[in-house]
A and B are shown apart, each in its own frame.
Chain A
Amino acid sequence: MRGMVEGRKKSRTFRRVKVKTPGGNTKVQYKRRKPSKAKCAGCGAVLAGVARALPRKMQNMPKTKKRPTRAYAGVLCTKCTRKKITQKARQYISSS
């Protein structure tokens, strides 16, 4: 019946999923959307290897599954990390 959905679920922040029930009917379920893709703090490119899930699922994931195993993982893209590390290395060379 119409009007049986909570008002807040009519917002587009929820996604509508059509589910086939064991009784043979198709019903609409309202589910939350995944958070947006992580972006590089330097250049704004989409970061690879960073998990996207709702907070409770992220909590239960081990740390190594949420981001790559690298310096600046989950913060900078590979290009920006290399630039930063070479920059730091050259600073170290010039200072020593």
Chain B
Amino acid sequence: MIEIGRLCIKTAGRDAGKKCVIVEILDERFVLIDGETRRKKCNQLHLEPLKDKIDIKKGASHADVTAEFKKLGLTARETKPKAKKIRPRRLRRSKLATQATAKPEEKKTKKAVKKKAKKAVKKEEKPKEEKK
């Protein structure tokens, strides 16, 4: 029953109750699964094999598995990479004062330009707070 392409339901862990397909058999105990679950190594005892079988090769990529799942009407798990949030860092008032008096050397690197833009944002924020 445990063979490449066999559809299973995962019974343990946070992916419990989700359908997955066996992509590769690692040894007597572990298999590599993918599908509605995360692509990971899994103990065979934590799987409940179903009657269905999918036609995939050993070590199939996530894209192949997603395509095969679509034919069955299932949607494989998708993760979008998160865009990094650039949070404006707040400086202490004393530090802002010293920065205002000291003349910064003008460097034409990308970092310096970004830093200047951030400082401008901060300076706008601070006087707004004081007005309040």
CB within 8 Å of B: which residues of A? 68-71, 78, 81-82, 85-86, 88-90, 92-93, 96
Task: Say which residue of B9, B13, B14 sits within 8 Å of A89 (CB atoms).
Answer: B9
Contact A89–B50 (Cβ < 8 Å): yes
> How close is A84's CB to chain B, nearest CB, in angstroms?
9
Of A69, A85, A86, which is in contact with the most chain B CB atoms at under 10 Å from its CB? A85
Contact B51–A85 (Cβ < 8 Å): no
**B61 interface residue (CB < 8 Å to A):** no
Contact B16–A90 (Cβ < 8 Å): no
Task: Say which residue of A68, A69, A86, A96 sits within 8 Å of B51 (CB atoms).
Answer: A96
Task: Say which residue of B17, B48, B51 sits within 8 Å of A71 (CB atoms).
Answer: B17
Q: List 26 A-B contacts (CB under 8 A).
A: A68-B14, A69-B14, A70-B13, A70-B14, A70-B16, A71-B16, A78-B12, A81-B16, A82-B11, A82-B12, A82-B16, A85-B9, A85-B11, A85-B16, A85-B17, A86-B11, A86-B48, A88-B9, A88-B17, A89-B9, A89-B11, A89-B50, A90-B48, A93-B50, A93-B51, A96-B51
For the complex, count residues of B whose C-beta is within 8 A of A.
Answer: 10
Q: What 10 additional pairs, Cβ within 8 angstroms, besides A70-B13, A93-B50, A96-B51?
A: A68-B14, A71-B17, A81-B16, A82-B11, A86-B11, A88-B9, A89-B11, A90-B48, A92-B50, A93-B51
Tally inter-chain residue pairs, CB-CB below 8 A.
Answer: 31
CB within 8 Å of A: which residues of B? 9, 11-14, 16-17, 48, 50-51
CA A69 – CA B14 in complex, angstroms?
Answer: 6
Q: Which residues of A contact B14 (CB under 8 A)?
A: 68-70
> How close is A17's CB to chain B, nearest CB, in angstroms?
38
